[in-house]
Amino acid sequence: MTTYKEQAHTGRLSLAQVLETLATDGHLPLRFTAYDGSSTGPDDAALGLELLTPRGTTYLATAPGDLGMARAYVAGDLGLHGVHPGDPYRLLKALADELHFRRPPPRVLANIVRSIGIEHLVPIAPPPQESLPRWRRIAEGLRHSRSRDADAIEHHYDVSNDFYEWVLGPSMTYTCAVYPHPEATLEQAQDNKYRLVFDKLRLRPGDRLLDVGCGWGGMVRYAARHGVRAIGATLSAEQARWAQRAIADDGLTELAEVRHCDYRDVRESEFDAVSSIGMTEHIGVANYPNYFGFLKSKLRTGGLLLNHCITRADNKSNATAGDFIDRYVFPDGELAGSGRIISEIQDAGLEVLHNENLRSHYELTLRDWCANLVAHWDDAVAEVGPATARVWGLYMAGSRLGFEHNVIQLHHVLARNGGDTGLPLRPWWRP
């Protein structure tokens, strides 16, 4: 009688047995079933994965890791059980916390290849929602050129304003909220975020604010409602149209303006404050000196900058995003540690006054965005299609896990453009 261990070396393996062989100690925290009729894992598991098609096997075999799983899932070849596709957080957490893979010995690996079939090692076209790989984008255009940045922004933000309204809620704010207390609603937390940025910048009626990468104009409209003259810039035509309409509907046209343009095309200067909220992630680390130098050039002497961005948890990690994020969500996106951000702001000639990490707040924000997607799932699928809707559920739930595990953080850095007078001795805002 052939033992399982002997079969792993020589006998043909089912897909479930392949997974058992690759898993450390054969431990599976969920139920796995496959189209070949095999299964493994606890019979009573609350969570599960189902490999539905041979194409899914090809995706998994030709792109091991998160990209292969994402391709199979987005294409509909990998099913999830026990979670809603708008919020697969619990399943992703189980995979991240409890499922660990090992590289098998060469003889076992050769048997795995024979078992799944050599035909599944030939790459096939990815789902149409996937952008070109990084090397192809580099070959076809200068990274972070104006046209390339515009293409990347269009890929991410011009999905559908209706879709974003369902996910983000009435504030249309696609950046980390700041929760005044754990029971606060998403809308309360987003309003509180704008309040915090406004207060940190010490804005007063009659002041002038520039908001770069302004999204749907949330910060611009908040500032205008408090008597500040605000200009926002976005590369997304869809965002600009939505923001311009919202400004008109709110009766703020005398104070607020959102332009569909590259931030580098804003000619005005001598602003009292500049806010960069969720923009630095798109700039590219090599372009930080020019970026923060540009923001400094827009400030009057003594003016304040607030940079709000996702960061790495250290200053040593690779800046480029993982394959799934890079191909499906943020083409060309890059993250640096908060130390790098602070150094670049200082090297641009600005004085850093304060820094804080709001990592836990982004966990809550993503939780609430996923809840919104679940609540509007049918509408979202009808609007953007099931594949794109699955991308967003996977992306937001996975990002929540990243913040929870301290793989990524969210930092506010407040800085001043010269001037030694006029500021209180201690922070003047309430948290």
Phi, psi at residue 234, to the nearest 5°? -140, 145
Report CA-CA distances (Å) from 109 to 12, 24, 373: 12, 14, 40
Residue 130 maps to a domain:
no
Check whether residue 183 and residue 54 sit in a common domain. no
d(Cα 385, Cα 381) in Å, to the nearest integer?
4
179 in a structural domain: yes
Has residue 141 been placed in a domain?
A: no
For the chain, the domain total comes to 2
Dmax over CA atoms of the chain, in Å, equals: 85
Tokens of 11: 């006998």
Q: Is residue 131 part of a domain?
A: no
Residues 178 and 250 in one domain: yes
Is the same domain home to 201 and 113?
no
One domain, residues 402 and 275: yes
Give domain status of residue 90, yes or no.
yes
Domain that holds residue 152: 147-416
> How many angstroms separate the CA atoms of 76 and 351, rounded?
51
Examine the domain organization and report whether 69 and 170 are in the same domain.
no
In order along its 431 residues, the chain shows pLDDT tens digits of: 344 555 555 579 999 999 999 987 767 889 999 999 999 999 999 999 999 999 999 999 999 889 999 999 999 999 999 999 999 999 999 999 988 888 889 999 999 999 999 999 999 999 999 988 765 556 565 554 565 554 544 544 557 899 999 999 999 999 999 999 999 999 999 999 999 999 999 999 999 999 999 999 999 999 999 999 999 999 999 999 999 999 999 999 999 999 999 999 999 999 999 999 999 999 999 999 999 999 999 999 999 999 999 999 999 999 988 899 999 998 889 999 999 999 999 999 999 999 999 999 999 999 999 999 999 999 999 999 999 999 999 999 999 999 999 999 999 999 999 987 789 999 999 99
Tokens 């969500």 sit on residue:
329
Residue 109 lies in a domain: yes
Same domain, 51 and 171: no
What CATH number is associated with residue 340? 3.40.50.150
Dihedral (Cα; 421, 422, 426, 427), 10-degree rounding: -130
Whether 175 is in a domain gets the answer yes
**Which phi and psi angles does 342 have, rounded to 5°?**
-65, -45
Parallel, antiparallel, or unpaired for β 208-212 and 229-234? Answer: parallel
CB atoms within 10 A of CB 183: 7
The distance from CA 279 to its chain's CA centroid, rounded to whole angstroms, is 12
**Co-location of 174 and 240 in the same domain:** yes
- Specify whether 45 is located in the same domain as 155: no
Residues 184 and 228 in one domain: yes
155 and 116 in a single domain? The answer is: no
Beta-strand relationship, 208-212 and 78-81: unpaired
**Would 291 be classed as within a structural domain?**
yes
Residues 150, 380: Cα–Cα separation, whole Å: 25
Residue 258 contacts by C-beta under 8 Å, 6 or more apart in sequence?
Answer: 214, 217, 220, 231, 232, 233, 234, 239, 240, 243, 244, 247
CA pair distance 210, 231, nearest whole angstrom:
5
Give the predicted TM-score (pTM) of the model. Answer: 0.92
